[in-house]
Structure 1
Amino acid sequence: MELRQLEYFVAVAEEANFTRAAARVHISQSGVSAQIRALERELGAELIDRSGGTATLTTAGQAALTQARATLAAAGSVRQSVDDIAGLLRGSLRVGMVTACTVPQLFDALARFHSAHPGVELALQEGNSDRLVADVRAGELDIALVGVAARVPDGLESMVVIDERIVAAVPPQHPLAAQGEATLAQVCEHPIIALPPGTGIRAVFDRDCAGVGLAPTIALQATAPDAVADLAARGLGVAILSASMTTSYDDTLVAVELTDSHTAALLALVWRPRTNAALTELVSVATRSFNESF
């Protein structure tokens, strides 16, 4: 059994597709298939069901996946321990961020890190906050920038980079615009445009509404904050966003303060407590990048 066979197996399991897995590990599809066949012969069990349109794990494959990931992580730790002594950084880091949430400070940090440590491969993955946190806990991501309501997730290291309140964003001609502030009940009298469940802003809105006995009907959902804002600017409803998300829409939207919304909308970097040298360095670079901007 070879480490590369385990690497190819994990890639196929995570991609659910031999072609994508081959592209990920930078070899031919036939090479991936041949190595996984060899691994299956050695283990005496079929790991991947190839009969459908996607590559799915068999029961044996599901059992093997956890151990394969652990073995690869252990091998990486051995390599990293040697590199630490030599003062080198290499390997890979998987970085998650909220879908369509453009955060220049994070991009600056990644650029600085890559410039200083070109031997570390960086992979960026977007998703909603709940999914990203789960992936960090599972070890599928090394670090993620996520939106959360009121507090950072338990059991993870974290750095809060933004702490603000949600607002209702409406066009200047909307009845709420002239008020400057409104209650959640007043806002919920209008069609609501929001991010989907699993996002930090939505979690704050749902929590605050539940706290005052409201169960709002969401008229429109969009995964990107810009889409939520654009829909509201066209008069389709009231957008629920963080205050900072509305700043680039000063000409088309008015941010209305929600007087009974008291839950903080946090944007935070989260990572597992046990880190390797590359992740420790990335956290340090990111901390400097965010501190320079706020």
Structure 2
Amino acid sequence: LEVGGIETLAAAFLPDVVARMAATHPDIAVRVTVAQTSTLHAQVKDGTLDAALFFGTRPHDDGVQCGVIAHAPLMLIVPPGHRLAARASAGHDDVAHERFLVTAPGCAYRRMFEAAFRSRVDGEPVIAGQSDSVAAIVRMVERGLGCAIVPRMVPALADARVAIVPWHGEGATVPVSLAWRARASSAMTALHEAVAAVEMQH
């Protein structure tokens, strides 16, 4: 079974899914591919991948089905000692003058960021810098170069020296979706069972 995922889900969720499948269906070999969302969609559509996990949603089309399997909470991460570090939660009204580190336009993480600010009426958030790597963004926040909004499950947060503040309001969570080739197979059934059985760490 060929399964793809974006970086965060491939590191924080897929290993548990693969382990579950190994325990319940040892006859099914699973190969995991890591790629950007657009690449994953294209590879499921052309049959290179049997299934893929990504943030956001996608309509059914051309033999590809898609379903939301969880909603991942978003967090505002700020440098240690930041004025918002001890807050129980924060929203876009709290960060009017903050500088943000973001990924490139079109990226799943950038779409999360934009959704979190969609209802803001006092102008666009200030972009301090951009990186293709969420792990690099976390390290830049550590060094005081700005703030960021990322899913709680991002592995780089586990040992990061940042304050993690729950994000509230519109865009406070992001859907986690599974896309798959719309053809019946015992391997795909096993994957769906494993995905349903594994608790996503938030």
Same fold (TM over 0.5): yes
Tell me the TM-score normalised to structure 1 length. 0.55
CA contact 1:167–1:241 (8 Å) conserved in 2: yes
- The corresponding residue for 1:200 is 108
Structure ranking higher in helix proportion? 1
1:265 aligns with 2:174: yes
Give the Cα–Cα distance (whole angstroms) in 2 for the partners of residues 292 and 263 of structure 1. 17
Unmatched runs of 5 consecutive residues or more in structure 1? 1-92
Task: Give the equivalent residue in structure 1 for 2:66.
Answer: 157
Match of 1:248 among 158, 164, 170: 158
Same amino acid, percent of matched pairs: 24
> What per-residue deviation string (whole Å, max 9, x for no partner) do you get for residues 243-271 of structure 1?
3438524x721123444434531223221
1:284 aligns with 2:193: yes
Alignment of 1:91-102 (within 5 A): 93-102=1-10
Extract structure 1 runs of 4+ deviating beyond 6 A: none
Determine the C-alpha separation between the residues in 2 that align with 1:293 and 1:190. 28
What CA distance in whole angstroms lies between the structure 1 residues aligned with 2:135 and 2:96? 21
Q: What CA distance in whole angstroms lies between the structure 2 residues aligned with 1:178 and 1:293?
A: 23
Shift of 1:168: 1.5
1:162-218 C-alpha deviation (Å, 9 max, x unpaired): x23322201221223245544425425222112334443321221232332443343
Q: How many residues align?
A: 195
Contact 1:145/1:268, CA 8 A, preserved across alignment: yes
How far, CA to CA, are the matches of 1:282 and 1:141 in structure 2? 13
**Residues 1-294 of structure 1 mapped to structure 2, 5 A cutoff:** 93-114=1-22, 116-118=25-27, 120-148=28-56, 152-155=57-60, 156-161=65-70, 163-184=71-92, 186-187=94-95, 189-213=97-121, 214-245=123-154, 248-249=158-159, 252-288=161-197, 290-291=198-199
| Aligned-partner Cα distance in 1 for 2:9–2:104 | 14
Question: Cα gap change, 1:238/1:194 in structure 2, threshold over 3 Å: closer, same or farther?
Answer: same
State the alpha-carbon separation in 1 of the partners of residues 144 and 88 from structure 2.
Answer: 17
Structure 2: 5+ residue runs without aligned partners? none
- How many Å separate the matches in 2 of 1:253 and 1:182? 15
- Give the TM-score normalised by structure 2: 0.76
Query: Aligned-pair distance for 1:234?
Result: 1.1
Seen in structure 2, the aligned counterparts of structure 1 residues 272 and 197 have a Cα distance that, compared at 3 Å, is farther
Contact 2:69 2:177 in 1 (8 A): yes
Give 1 or 2: higher strand fraction.
Answer: 2
Higher RCO structure, 1 or 2 (CA under 8 Å, sep 6+): 2
2:101/2:147 contact within 8 Å kept: yes
| Mapped partners of 1:269, 1:232: distance in 2 | 30
Quick one: distance in 1 between partners of 2:45 and 2:147? 34
Structure 1 residues 113 and 273 mapped into 2: Cα distance closer, same or farther (>3 Å)? same
> Following TM superposition, by how much is the alpha carbon of 1:145 offset from its aligned partner in structure 2, in angstroms?
1.4
8 Å contact from structure 2 (residues 54, 176) kept in 1: yes
| 1:58 equivalent in structure 2 | none
User: After superposition, what is the alpha-carbon deviation per residue over 1:82-117, rounded to whole angstroms, capped at 9, x for unaligned?
Assistant: xxxxxxxxxxx2211112545454213324435634
Amino acid of the structure 2 residue aligned with 1:273:
A
